[in-house]
Amino acid sequence: MQQSSAPTDSSFDRSTDVVVIGSGIGGLSCAALLARYGFKVTVCESHTIPGGAAHAFKHQGFTFDSGPSLYSGLSYSPSPNPLRQVLDAIGEDLPWATYNTWGCWLPEGHFNTSVGADQFCDVLQQLRGESAMAEWRELQRVMEPYAQAAIAIPPSALRFDLGAVLTAGRFTPSLIRHFGRVIKLAGPFSRLMDGVVQDAFLRNWLDLLCFLLSGLPASGTSAAEMAFMFADWYQPGVVLDYPIGGSGALVDAIVRGLKKHGGKLMLGAHVEQVLVANKRAIGVRLHNGQEIRARHAVISNASLWDTLKLLPKGSVPDQFVEKRQATPECHSFMHLHLGIDAQEIPADLACHHIVVNDWNQGVTAPQNVILVSIPSLLDPSLAPAGKHAIHVYTPGNEPYELWQGFDRRSDAYMQQKQARSEVMWQALERIIPNVRSRCEVTLVGTPLTHERFLRCHRGSYGPAIRAGEGLFPSPRTPLSGLLCCGDSTFPGIGLPAVAASGMVTANTLAPLHAHLTLLKELDCS
């Protein structure tokens, strides 16, 4: 991974067109597209590694993903995945490993399942019989037109101004055709699920998929998110993707696109405050006192809570601050990064696994769902010869309150880490029984780790805005010149969503003619 520190006074560029705060996937996508549109862009990142929650890091010869490990719709183009659309727009790509199977360790037992419709039907028939399989087939039939509605307008065509009449207008026939379904997509997926699915296992399974997408069960996950997943995962010949080089290689590809088009990335450059003059955001002040002036806009890729901390008091209405601060949040994460001896581990072992301990607790219960990723099975370069790199994590279900107030240097904190990581060890031991004796590298991350390295409010996964109870905010804010992107803006959390938000925010700033030209080059129709 490329690393650098904040520039010295002699090389410091004090003005730019746009400053982007944070180099998460949303911020990088936005910045790279703005550079592609011809803006002079500077990205300020607190960490010494770009990528936000998607960054990778090296330790003792192993390369570890810090966050997401399950990718789809990225190894081919055109694709409905907004992140693929960003890569196409900036003219970047990277090699991908493809696969279609992952392991499930559920209360009903262990099985491997695949993307695509047919194999899961075989699993359902064995576990639950003909009636469950029939419900699944019917749900697929019901979801097919909703899946088409969810991708009726590509994110590359969206912008939050009147120009959308022209950029998104070309998709009006498709939108009209799906209009009734588009309205239902804003509601919770449970409304569609409840009319079709009664089988207890299948309802639990769909709750699990919803939780992995949004941090919420089916009753809180928007139907649009699940419809997009059905469009992506349950098509003939579909595969899952993994970036060769790990998630850091994907981040590097977007950074290449940023720099290729003249953009700049500053690492170790923590923004302390957004500068405001005449009721307009005009730049940022860094931790070392240096200032960068922005001629067109400041864009925050920080969470909504962290963005509020950067604004001078009184720069936005109190009602706006109170409403944003009251936004419910997802829980945080526990992480276990391991470097192990791979001797005698089968080469055909699934690289990703989902573990659920108890359906009765609900999928959002603390430590009830654990994800296991062994990406070196797909890309051996991530570990020394004969070794594996493993990432185990609890996906947004670790309460921050259990960690609040701990001194990270204290014995009590170490004891808490050991106790709260045990569930991850136990999950991994289902897959590799003797894994503890194989370990050569052991790193445990907590919500405090998440908060520290990502500068993320309470280490949260992002807002927990339930479908039907509110919408994710648009990129615009009450402060002129300040826009936002990332997990706290439309369309929400998750890699495809934050890439879409970055694209929409960049489009909103772009001249209409430049946006239309890009759509033509991308052959969006």
pLDDT digits (tens, 9 = 90+) for 472-501: 999 999 999 999 999 999 999 999 999 999
Scanning the structure block, which residue is given the tokens 């405050």? 273
User: Sign (positive/negative) of CA torsion 382, 461, 272, 35?
Assistant: positive
Q: Can you give the pLDDT at residue 117?
A: 66
User: Can you name the residues that pair with 240 across neighbouring β-strands?
Assistant: 72, 99
Fold observed for domain 332-459: Guanine Nucleotide Dissociation Inhibitor; domain 2 (3.30.519)
Residues 511 and 419: their CA atoms lie apart, in Å, by 54
Q: ω before 217 within 30° of 0 (cis)?
A: no
Write phi, then psi, for 2 (nearest 5 degrees).
-70, 135
Decide: 317 and 478 in contact? Cβ < 8 Å. yes
Contact (Cβ atoms closer than 8 angstroms) between residue 267 and residue 3? yes
Q: Which residues of 198-233 are buried (b: 16+ CB within 10 A; e: fewer)?
A: ebebbbbbbbbbbbbbbbbbbbbbbbbbbbbbbbbb
Residue 115 CA neighbour count, 13 Å, CB half: 21
Nearest to 155 by CA among 57, 81, 67: 81
Report the run of H or E that residue 442 belongs to, with start and end: strand 439-445
Contact 443, 337 (CB under 8 A): yes
Strand locations in 270-403 (E) = 271-277, 280-286, 291-300, 332-341, 352-356, 369-373, 387-398
Query: What is the pLDDT, as a whole number, of residue 9?
Result: 39
Query: What are the Cα distances from residue 80, in Å, to 184, 335, 453, 465?
Result: 20, 30, 31, 24
User: In the chain, which residues fall in CATH 3.30.519?
Assistant: 332-459
Which stretches in the chain have pLDDT values below 50?
1-11
Q: What is the pLDDT of residue 12?
A: 56
Q: What one-letter code names the amino acid at 90?
A: I
Identify the pLDDT of residue 149: 86
Fold of 15-56+77-93+243-327+464-522: FAD/NAD(P)-binding domain (3.50.50)
- In angstroms and rounded to an integer, the radius of gyration of the C-alpha atoms of the chain is 22
Percent with pLDDT over 70 in the chain: 97
Give span(s): CATH 3.50.50.60, the chain: 15-56+77-93+243-327+464-522
First and final C-alpha spacing in the chain: 37
Q: What is the DSSP string of 54-65?
A: G-EEEETTEEEE
Give start and end residues of each alpha helix (H) in 303-343: 304-309, 318-325
Predicted TM-score of the model (pTM): 0.94
Is residue 402 within 8 Å of 376, Cβ to Cβ? no
Dihedral (C-alpha) 487, 492, 495, 498: value to the nearest 10 degrees?
A: -60
pLDDT of 178 reads: 76
